[in-house]
Amino acid sequence: MAILELTAFGVIGSVLLSLAFLPQAYRLLSTKHARDISPYYVLILVSGSFCLTVYGFGIRDPIVFILNLYATMANSELLLLKLYYDSRGDMPKTNE
């Protein structure tokens, strides 16, 4: 596989990982609860994307760096929402 093909493959993967938080963030914001989300899952996502951000900076690759910096911030938002909604302790209203 040529370097250009590998780079394109890596960019597509990074974009997908960066956008993966959107459905979960939408659900968190619309339901106003996070009881179904494991804090360990989100913490691992934040840690992994942070490591890839440092890696992108280290190899001086702006695409890897920027996409993973965005993923780190987005996944951090999920973690903060999880902590916020869990700390409230109240249950959301149901539409029954």
- Model pTM score: 0.74
Chain segment 57-78, per-residue pLDDT in tens: 888 888 889 988 999 998 898 8
Q: Indicate the angle between helix axes 21-31 and 3-19, nearest 10 degrees.
A: 10
Chain segment 20-36, per-residue pLDDT in tens: 888 888 888 888 888 87
Q: Concatenate the DSSP letters of all residues of 30-88 into one string.
A: HH---TTS-HHHHHHHHHHHHHHHHHHHHTT-HHHHHHHHHHHHHHHHHHHHHHHHHHH
Cβ partners under 8 Å of residue 32, min gap 6: 85, 92
What pLDDT does residue 91 have? 59
Checking if the pLDDT of 86 tops 90, the result is no
